[in-house]
Structure 1
Amino acid sequence: MSHYKPTRLMGWLFTGSLLYLPTQCVGAQEIEKISVTGTRLKRSIQSDSPIPIASIDAKVLSTIGANDVRDLIETLPFNAGAQNNSDNLTQNFTVGTSNINLRGLGVSSTLVLLNGRRQVVSAVVTDQGASFVDTASLIPTLAIQRVEILKDGASAIYGSDAVAGVVNFISRDDLNGSEVQYEYRKRMSDGSQDETKVDFVFGSDTGSSGHVLVAASYLERSSLVLSEVDWVQPAFSSFGNPGSFVVPSLANDDNPDGLTVADPNCVQNGGSVSEGSNGNSFCLFDFAPQITAVPNEDRLQLYMRTKWGWNDDTELWFEAGFADNDVSREVSPSFPVLNAPSVLSSHPNNIYDEDIFFRGRPFGVGKPTEINFYSHQTTRVAFGIDGAIGTDKFWQVSYVNAKNEAFLNPKDVIADNFQFALFGFGGINCRQDLGVVAGAGECLYFNPFDPQASANEQLRSYIIGDYIGNVESETQVVEGVIAFDELIEMEAGFAAMAFGMQYRKESIRSVYDALTQQDRFAFLIGNQNVEGDRDVKAVFTELRLPIFEQLELGLALRYEDYGDLGGDTTDPKVSLLWHASSNLSVRGSYSTSFRAPSVHQLKGVQTNFANITDPRDGSTTFGGNRTVGDPDLVPETSTALNIGGTFSANQFDMDIDYWRFSFEEVLTRESHQAVVNAFADDPERVIRTSAGTISIVNTRFINAEAIDTSGIDFNIIYQWDTRFGRLTPQFSGSYILEYDLTDNTGVVNDGLGRLNRNTVGNPTPKLKGSFGINWQFEAHSANVFFRHVASYENDVTLEKISSFNTLDLQYEIDLGEAIKVGVNTNITVGVVNVTDKAPPFVDIAGSYDPRTGDPRGRRAYIKLKVEF
C-alpha cells in the first residue's frame, strides 16, 4: 500500500474518487503503486481511475458517529433498502446481521470483499430468499484502514454478485503500537436501550519487511421494543386471545365454512372488535408493542493478519477471522395458530352447542412476551503469496476458506399439542390411552374462552415448543493473477495487462429438529433439511491502453462457468479516463454484469409467513409461504453505464457521476398473493385448513422481472482556513432519476419515490444526502451533520411518507500525553439525532419502514481512545 501522505484533510465521506494528487506528496518521496478496488492493475494514485469509487477511511467512521458498519451503511446515499433493522415481520432469521444494498438493486447484488477477496454469504437468507454477506461479521472497527466502494457493475473483474458494485474492507497495515477504545452509547428518548463497545488493536513491524496486526472487539447491546416508544401505532391481528370462533351452523352463501364471530367477552378481556366483510367479526390483538426494533446482542470479533517478506520480491501473508453474535428478540406472547383447531361441543366452556373452530393464539392480551434466540458465527482463514518479477510484473496466488453457521431457536405453538389441549388431553404427563377421560387427572383442557384460566398457563410448556435449526454456508476460493505494468510501449506510455483464474466451491447445509421437519408448528409451519453445493470456474483479463497522453482506454473480460447449476456467461467492460486539464478529469464506463442464482435459490427450501388476502371472502390473515428452489434458474443479467468527472482547484473539490443500470431476468420469488389470486382453489398451490382458512401458499424462485434505474451522485467539499482553525463544509448525495419495475406480465410500474412494498423493488426516495461541517483547531475538532431522506409514497395505501431529517453533533479533543507520558489519549462526545426525530409513519406493522427509517431516536455517546 502507499506510504505517501496528502497534505490536506481527507477524512470525509466521498461519493467519487479521493482527490489525491501527485503534487500533494510529502517532499520528493516516490509514489508507490497501489491496488485499488475495481481493477487488477496497480495505479499510482487512487483518483487516477475511470470508475466511480468512494473511499472512506478509519477517521470517517469516528467522524460520522458510527458505532459499527451498520451505522456506516445507513449514511451512504447510494445505499437503498438494506435490511439492518430488527423487524419481526420482514427480517426474521436474519436478525443480528447487516448488509448493504447499492442502488436498491437487492442485497445479493453487491459483492463484499475483505482485502480484495471474497467472503462467505450468510447461512440465513432474507425473507425474499436473497443471500448476502453479513457485514457485521467481517472485521473489528479499529482494524479497518478504509472502505472502498465501487459504484458501478464489476462482474468483468470480480464475477457474480458484483452487478450493482463492490464494497471492499481493507485492514490496517501500518500500525506500530496498540490502541484501545471504549464507547458507551445510550438512547436519550423513552426506553432504556444502550450499548457498550470495547475495541483493541495491536500492530507491529516484524523485521525489515513484515507486519502483524491483531484486533478484537466486543459489543454488548440491549434491546428496544416498540412498547417503549411514543410513535408506534396499533398493528392488529385478527388472530388474538381473546380470539374468534368459526361457527359452522351460521354458514351462509358468503361464508360456506361458517360465520366467524368475535369472542363475546373480547372487549372486557382487552381485545377490540372489528366488523369484517360478509357479516364476520373478529377480536383483534395489537402486536405492535411487542415488535423489537433493536435486539439484545453480544457480539465478539477477532481478527489477525500477518505478512512476511520471503525475499525482496516475494511476500507471504496470512489472515484469520472469527465472529460470534448471540441475539435474543422479544416477540408476541405466542404466535397465531393458522390451522384453525377444533373446539368440540363437549368442551366444558364451549358457549355454543356445536363443534366450532378457534381462530386466535393461545396467549395474547396481558401475557408476557416470548423470547426468540439466534446465534451467528463466522470463521475465516486466508493465505497467499504476492510476488514481483522485476519492476513491472506482479503475481498473486491466494486461498480463502470461510464458513458461516447460524443457530435458530424461535418458539411457536405445536399445532397438534394445542389441538389435544383443546380436546382436554393437554399436559406433558397426560397419557391418551384407551379409557382416559378428557380433562381428568393430569389431562387438562385449554380454555379459549377465558384468557386468565389457570389451566392455560399450566399448559404453556406443553403447547409452546422450540423450533430449532442449524444452518451453514461455506465458501472456498483459489485464485491466481499475473499483471504486466509495462506490457507494450506505446507513444503515450506503456500498456498494462492482467490475467487471472479463479475456482470457487460454494455449499449450504440446513438441519432442523424433528418437530420442524414434520411441519408441526402452527405459525412458522416448519422447514426441511437441505444440502447443496456447486463449483464455479472463471478466467478473466484486463487491459489498460494509453491512447493519448491525456486519454486512457480500459478493457476487461471475464468468463464464468457454473456447470449445470447456473450455466455460463461472458461479460465485458469498457472504460475511458480523460485528463481534460490539470484540474479536471472525466471518466466513463460501460459493462454487462450477471448474478447467478444462489445455491439456496437453486436447491433450497424456505418457509416464512406473510399477510395473505383470501379472494374467497376478502379476509386478510397471516399464512405460511413455502418457497422451493428451481435448478433451472438462469443468471440475471444487467448493463451498467457511468459517466462522471472530478474537478479540483485550490481548496475546492467536486465529484459528479451519472449512472444507469438495466436488469433483466431478475431473480426473485413468486408473489404469494399472486399465486393465491390465481390458484385459490388449487390444493397443490394453496393449502387450506378444515375451516377453509389458508395455511400454506406454495411458491417458487423464478426469473421474472426487470429493473431500470438511473441517477446522479454528487459530492462537493471546500476547505477554508481561518485564524480560528480550518472549516470544511461538504455536501453529498444521490438523486434518483428513474426506478422502473417490470413484472412477469410485461407491465411497467414506476417505483421512483415509492415504498415498493409488493414489488421486486426496494424503498426508493428520490434523494438521500447530507450536509456537514468539520472544524479543526489544534487539538480540538467538531462535526455537524444534517442528513436528509426525501419523502416518498406508500404504494399500497397511496399515503405520503414524510421526509426523514436528522442532525448529529460531535466534539473531539486530543489530549496527547497529558494524562500519561507515552500514552496518547483522545476523548469524543456526540449526539446522534439531536432533535429526537421519529422515523416517518408508514401504515405497516411497526409504523415505520425498517429499510429506510431509523427507530433508535436520540442517542448520546462518549468514546475514550488511548494509543500506546
Structure 2
Amino acid sequence: MSKTSTFLLGASSLALLASSPAALAQESGDEQLRQSTVVVTGSFIKGTPEDAALPVDTLSAEDLRLEGNPTLTELIRNLGVSSGVDGQTNQFASNGLEGTSNINLRGLGPARTLVLINGRRQTYSPYAIGEQAQLFTDTNTIPSAAIQRIEVLKDGAAALYGSDAIAGVVNFITRDNLDGFEIGGSFQTFEGSDGEYDISAAYGLQRENWGWVTSFGYQKRSEVSLLEKDWAVPTYAENPVGGWSSLSNPGYFVPLGFDGTGVGPIGGAISDSGCEVVGGTVDGTCQFQYTNFDNLIEEEERYQVFTEFNYDFSNGSQLHLEGLYAMTDVPSWKTSPAYPPQVLTNQVVPASHPGFQQYMADNPGAFPAGTLAALYIGRSFGWGGFPGTGYGPQEGSREYKSYRLGGDYTGEFENNVSYDIGLTYSTTEGERITYDTYIAGLSAALNGFGICADPITGAVPTGAVPGQGGCEYYNPFSNAIPAGAINGNPNPTFDPALENSAELADWLTDPVGTTVTTSLLVFDAVFSGQSSVQAAGGSIGWAAGAQVRRETFEVEPNELTDLDVNPGPGGTGPFSFLAGTNSADRDQEIYAIFGELQIPLYDNLDIQVAARYEDYGGEVGSTFDPKVAAKWQVNDMFALRGSAQTSFRGPTLNQLGGVATTLQFVAPTSAFKAVDQYGNPDLDPESAFSYNLGAIFEKDGFFASIDYFNFDFSDPIIVEEQSNIVDAAIAALAAGDTDADILNRITFQDPAAPAASGIARIETNVVNGPDIKTSGVDLRIEKTWDQTNGGSFMIGAESTYVIEYDVDPYFIEGVPIGGGDYVGQFNRSNFTRSMPQWKANIFANYAIGMHNFRAVMRHVDSYDDERGDLTGDGNSEIDSMSTMDLYYSADLPWELDLGLSVVNVFDEEPPFAQFDINYDPYTHNPYGRTFKVSLKKTFSGL
C-alpha cells in the first residue's frame, strides 16, 4: 500500500474516532429515531433550501413509481438535459460498452458529469468510450430498490466537487428509513423479445438509535436479434451504409501468374459466383451485411446489493456505513462471423488448393490461363456463418464486478460547528473478450497448413504436407458454404469434402482479451456552521473542507493480446483486425481544499460563494476555481437566480498512455477498419467557464421555471476524429502531395501506391481539442388542481433547447480540421455525439384514492446528418420522434403496489439514420410498443 493510502486510512480512522471517542462505546438512552439532515446537492452547508440559487432537479422514488419504475438507462435517456447517452447495444460506436450505462449532461461527454452516491464519488467503469477515450461512472451498478431520490445539478460544480463536474452533478441518494420487508418484481416485453424481468427486495430495521437497510436487485435481459426488427436490416439498395461491407466471404480474387517480369496480377478482380445464393448482394464485389449477426439487445444478467447502517450516538453524532456489490455479465455477446483483415496482401491462395480447383472446374474460364495463385480479398467467414458456433455469429463476452465500501462520521461540536468526515473505497474490474483471426494462421491455412502450423507465427512443422496428416486447408470459396446462414438457402455448389471444419475455425481464431481494473480511494473532511457575522437577512453560513483522492488504472492483456509478448508481423499484434495493447499500472493522487459561504444578504436575497484549490501534481498542475450564485425572492410568487463558476478537469489515467483499438466505418473503403488510439502524456487539463440565469414563478398550484445556461469550454481532451484524418489524407493525395505529414497517420495496403480505397489502419491521438461554446434554455411548467372528490389533476411540460454548440477548428499534422455549430446534427464525422436542438416531455397525471393515471408524450426534434446523403435517396435528415407512454399504479390493500405501463403506445419506429444499425442508439428508443407489469409487496415493521 502506498504512503498516501496509509495516510488516508489512518487519518480517516483517527478522525472518526477522535471526534467523539466516548460516544462510540456509549449506548443512547434517548427516545428518538435517527433524523437525516438534508444537504442539497450543490452545497455543503446544512439547511440550504432545496429551492436555492442552483438549478437542481429532484426525482423521488415516488416520481419513478408513477412512471413505471424505468431502468436508470431509460430514465437518463428521457432527461431533456441529457443527450448522447450510452446504454444500448452499439458495437459500431460505443465499442465494447455492452452492459454499462452513463450520463451525458449538456452533451459535453459522460466523463464531464460527476456521478455521486450519497454525495460521495464512485470509481470509473474500466473501459472508456472508445471514440472519446472518456472514462465514466457506470450507473448500472446502482440497484433501483435502494434509491430514495436522485438530484440533478444542471450547473458546473467544480468549486465544491472538483474534477468531472464541468457539466453538472447527478447524486443518487439511497433510502435509509425502511422499516420492514419489501419484495417486488417486474416483467416487460415487446415484439420480438422473450422479455426481461427485474426482481428486487429490501429489508430494513429501524430501532431507537440505529437503522439498517439492505436492498437487492436482479435483472435478466433476453437476447433480441436485429433481425427481429424489419427496419434494422434493410437491403443494400435501401441503405448501402446499413451494415454492409465490400469485404465479404465469399469474396473476390485477383489472379496471379507470370506477367512478363515476374509473378503478379494477370487479370482483374473476380467475384465468387456464389455470392447472391448465400445472401450477398453484388455491387462490383460481394456485399456482406454483418449486422444480420448482431443483436439489438444482448443477453444480460445483473446482480446488485446495497447495504447501509446508520447509528445515532447520544451526543447527536451519527455513524454511516455502506457497502455495494454489483456484477454484470454479458455471456454471449454476438458479432460478425469474422472481421475484415487490415492487410490483404498476405491472403494468397495457391492454384493447387482443392477449393480453388473445384471452383475452376465449376466455373470454366473464370480465371485466366496461367493462373498460379490468387490474392483473396475478403474475410475468413461471412455469409456462411462461423462453423465453431453452428454457422452463426462469433461470440465474445463482457463482465464487470464492482465493490464499494464507505463510511462517514457526522455530528456537531459544542460550538455548533458541524463535521462530516468520510472515507470511501470503490473498485471495478472489467473483462472483455472478443475473437479475431490470426494473420499468420490464415495465410498458413490458405496453403493447407491449418491446425498443424503455429497460428501466431505461421511456422509449419518439418515434413508437413498441405491438407494431410492433421493439416487442413482453409477454403475461402463459396463451395465451402453449405447454406446461407441468414437466408437459409442451400448452396448448390457446396461440396462437403471442401467444408471448413469447426476445429479449423477454432484454431484460426482466438480471444483478444483484457482485464482492466479501476479503483478510487477518497478521504473527505467537511466542517460547517453558522458564523457570528450577521447580514441583513441572518447569520452567514460557512463550510470548509479538504479531500484527498487516489485513483488507479490497471490493464492486464491476455498473452495473445500483449504486444510485449506477441507484437505480430506488423507490431500491432498477431490478429488480422484488432490490435493488441500493453499492460499498464498507473496511479495518481489529487489533493484539494475548498470553502463555501451562504450569505443571506437580505431577507429576500441569498448569495453563495465557493472556491476550491485542487492539485494533481506533476505535469497536470493545479487549479483554483471560484463560484458565485444568488437567488432573489422578488415577491411571494417570483424569484430570480443565477450562478457563475470556473471548472477544471485533469486527464484521466487511461488518456495519458497506452494504445486502444476501436472499429470504425471508413467511408472510402466501404468497410470497418481498425483505428488505433494512442494516449498522450503531454495532455493539458481542460477547463470551462459557465453561468446560469433563471427565474421561478409559483402561485396557486402553478409552477414555472426557466434557466439559460452557457458553457465556454477550453482545451477539451478529445480523440482526433479518424474521418477528418482520412479526408485530409485524400485531399493531400488528390493534390499529389505524397510527402504530407497527414499520410503518416494511415497504413495503406500498398505503401508504394497509397490510395483511399487501400486504407488499412488509422492512427489517432488523444489531444487537447478545440474550444467549445454551448448555450441553451431549460423550461419546466406544472399546474395542479385539487378535485372536489378528493383527487388531484396535474399537467406539465419540461424541455431543453440548445441554442448553439460552436466548436472551433483544430489542427492535425498542420491541417485544419472541422469547426462550426454542431447542434442539430448527428455528429458522426466529429468527436461529439448526436445533438437534437430540443427535447420535450409533456405529461398529465390524475390521482384519486388508491389509483393514479399518468400519460407522458415525449418528443425529440429532427436533426441532420452532417455527412450529407449517403444512401442516394436525397435526404440526410433524421426525423423527429414523438411517442406516448401510459402508466397506471395502484396502492392496493394488504400493502400491495401494482404498476401497469405501455411505453410507445402507437408503436413508433425509431427514425432512420445513416448508421450501421439504421437508427441513432444515443438518442432514440428502438424497441417499439413495450408492455410492463410490476408488483411489490410490503411487510411493515418486521
Do the structures match in fold with TM over 0.5?
yes
| CA positional deviation for 1:565 | 4.7
After superposition, give the CA deviation of every residue in 1:566-602 in whole Å (9 maximum; x if it has no partner).
2211111111110111111211000111221111001
Q: Does 1:770 align with 2:841?
A: yes
Q: Does 1:356 align with 2:374?
A: yes
User: Would you say the 8 A contact 1:97–1:134 is kept in 2?
Assistant: no
Counterpart secondary structure, 2:710: strand
User: Could you say which residue in structure 1 is the equivalent of 2:878?
Assistant: 801
Q: 2:646 aligns with which of 582, 589, 592?
A: 592
User: Could you say which residue in structure 2 is the equivalent of 1:563?
Assistant: 617
Q: 2:799 aligns with which of 723, 729, 733?
A: 733
User: Could you say which residue in structure 1 is the equivalent of 2:427?
Assistant: 403
- Structure (1 or 2) with the greater strand fraction: 1
User: Would you say the 8 A contact 1:88–1:292 is kept in 2?
Assistant: no
| CA positional deviation for 1:192 | 2.3
Q: Distance in 2 between matches of 1:286 and 1:391?
A: 72
Q: Distance in 2 between matches of 1:343 and 1:841?
A: 41
User: Would you say the 8 A contact 1:313–1:389 is kept in 2?
Assistant: no
Q: 2:117 aligns with which of 103, 109, 114?
A: 114
User: Could you say which residue in structure 2 is the equivalent of 1:271?
Assistant: 280
Counterpart secondary structure, 1:455: coil
Mapping for residues 124-273 of structure 1, pairs under 5 Å? 124-187=127-190, 189=191, 191-206=192-207, 208-232=208-232, 233-234=234-235, 235-247=243-255, 260-273=269-282
Letter in 1 for 2:245: S
Q: Distance in 2 between matches of 1:78 and 1:568?
A: 30
Counterpart secondary structure, 1:556: strand
After superposition, give the CA deviation of every residue in 1:137-186 in whole Å (9 maximum; x if it has no partner).
43211110000000010001100000000000000122111111111111
Q: 1:62 to 1:664 in 2, by over 3 A?
A: same
Counterpart secondary structure, 2:111: helix
Q: Distance in 1 between matches of 2:906 and 2:384?
A: 33
Letter in 2 for 1:460: A
User: Would you say the 8 A contact 2:452–2:460 is kept in 1?
Assistant: no
Q: Distance in 2 between matches of 1:272 and 1:757?
A: 26
Consecutive unaligned residues of structure 2, counting only runs of 5 or more, are 1-34, 236-242, 361-366, 386-391, 482-497, 567-572, 731-737, 870-875
User: Could you say which residue in structure 2 is the equivalent of 1:377?
Assistant: 401
User: Could you say which residue in structure 2 is the equivalent of 1:20?
Assistant: none
Q: 1:632 aligns with which of 668, 682, 693?
A: 682
Letter in 1 for 2:786: D
Q: 2:411 aligns with which of 387, 391, 402?
A: 387
For normalisation by structure 2, the TM-score amounts to 0.83
| CA positional deviation for 1:671 | 2.0
Letter in 1 for 2:608: G
Counterpart secondary structure, 1:563: coil
Deviates more, 1:448-457 or 1:235-244: 448-457
Counterpart secondary structure, 1:93: coil
User: Could you say which residue in structure 1 is the equivalent of 2:23?
Assistant: none
User: Could you say which residue in structure 2 is the equivalent of 1:814?
Assistant: 891
Identity %: 31
Consecutive unaligned residues of structure 1, counting only runs of 5 or more, are 1-30, 276-281, 818-823
User: Could you say which residue in structure 2 is the equivalent of 1:334?
Assistant: 338
Q: 1:93 to 1:715 in 2, by over 3 A?
A: same
Q: Does 1:721 align with 2:775?
A: no
Deviates more, 1:685-694 or 1:305-314: 685-694
Q: Distance in 2 between matches of 1:834 and 1:637?
A: 43
User: Would you say the 8 A contact 1:705–1:760 is kept in 2?
Assistant: no
Q: Distance in 2 between matches of 1:719 and 1:579?
A: 22
User: Would you say the 8 A contact 2:843–2:854 is kept in 1?
Assistant: yes
Mapping for residues 650-661 of structure 1, pairs under 5 Å? 650-661=700-711
User: Could you say which residue in structure 1 is the equivalent of 2:552?
Assistant: 507
User: Would you say the 8 A contact 2:103–2:110 is kept in 1?
Assistant: yes
Q: 1:491 aligns with which of 522, 533, 536?
A: 536
Letter in 2 for 1:645: A
User: Would you say the 8 A contact 1:160–1:595 is kept in 2?
Assistant: yes
Letter in 2 for 1:665: D
For normalisation by structure 1, the TM-score amounts to 0.90
After superposition, give the CA deviation of every residue in 1:470-507 in whole Å (9 maximum; x if it has no partner).
11111111111111223412232111111111110111
Counterpart secondary structure, 1:467: strand
User: Would you say the 8 A contact 1:129–1:600 is kept in 2?
Assistant: no
Q: Distance in 2 between matches of 1:87 and 1:357?
A: 33
Q: 1:604 to 1:556 in 2, by over 3 A?
A: farther
Alpha carbon RMSD of aligned pairs, Å? 2.3
| CA positional deviation for 1:852 | 0.6
Q: 1:263 to 1:722 in 2, by over 3 A?
A: same
Letter in 2 for 1:302: V
User: Would you say the 8 A contact 2:245–2:670 is kept in 1?
Assistant: no
User: Could you say which residue in structure 2 is the equivalent of 1:319?
Assistant: 322
Q: 1:756 to 1:677 in 2, by over 3 A?
A: closer
User: Could you say which residue in structure 1 is the equivalent of 2:928?
Assistant: 857
Q: Distance in 2 between matches of 1:183 and 1:124?
A: 30
Letter in 2 for 1:722: Q
User: Would you say the 8 A contact 1:646–1:655 is kept in 2?
Assistant: yes
Q: Does 1:621 align with 2:671?
A: yes
Q: 2:461 aligns with which of 405, 413, 433?
A: 433
After superposition, give the CA deviation of every residue in 1:76-118 in whole Å (9 maximum; x if it has no partner).
0110001111112112221100000001000111000000001
Q: 1:50 to 1:256 in 2, by over 3 A?
A: farther
| CA positional deviation for 1:398 | 0.6
User: Would you say the 8 A contact 1:480–1:500 is kept in 2?
Assistant: yes
Deviates more, 1:108-117 or 1:127-136: 127-136
| CA positional deviation for 1:218 | 0.5
| CA positional deviation for 1:698 | 2.1
Q: Does 1:685 align with 2:694?
A: no
User: Could you say which residue in structure 2 is the equivalent of 1:55?
Assistant: 58
| Residue correspondences, number | 816
User: Would you say the 8 A contact 1:590–1:642 is kept in 2?
Assistant: yes
After superposition, give the CA deviation of every residue in 1:773-803 in whole Å (9 maximum; x if it has no partner).
1111101111111100011111112511111
Letter in 1 for 2:203: F
Letter in 1 for 2:313: W
Letter in 2 for 1:669: V
After superposition, give the CA deviation of every residue in 1:494-544 in whole Å (9 maximum; x if it has no partner).
111111111101111111112112312222232222221111111111112
Q: 1:562 to 1:433 in 2, by over 3 A?
A: same
User: Could you say which residue in structure 1 is the equivalent of 2:910?
Assistant: 839
| CA positional deviation for 1:261 | 4.1
Q: 1:247 to 1:610 in 2, by over 3 A?
A: farther
| CA positional deviation for 1:686 | 2.4
Letter in 2 for 1:736: V
After superposition, give the CA deviation of every residue in 1:593-635 in whole Å (9 maximum; x if it has no partner).
122111100123211222235xxxx433322111121111011
Q: 2:383 aligns with which of 362, 365, 375?
A: 365
Q: Distance in 1 between matches of 2:537 and 2:500?
A: 87
Counterpart secondary structure, 2:770: strand
User: Could you say which residue in structure 2 is the equivalent of 1:11?
Assistant: none
User: Could you say which residue in structure 2 is the equivalent of 1:673?
Assistant: 723
| CA positional deviation for 1:44 | 5.0
Q: Distance in 2 between matches of 1:66 and 1:777?
A: 20
Q: Distance in 2 between matches of 1:69 and 1:463?
A: 40
| CA positional deviation for 1:678 | 4.9
After superposition, give the CA deviation of every residue in 1:111-134 in whole Å (9 maximum; x if it has no partner).
000000011000011112433444
User: Could you say which residue in structure 1 is the equivalent of 2:46?
Assistant: 42
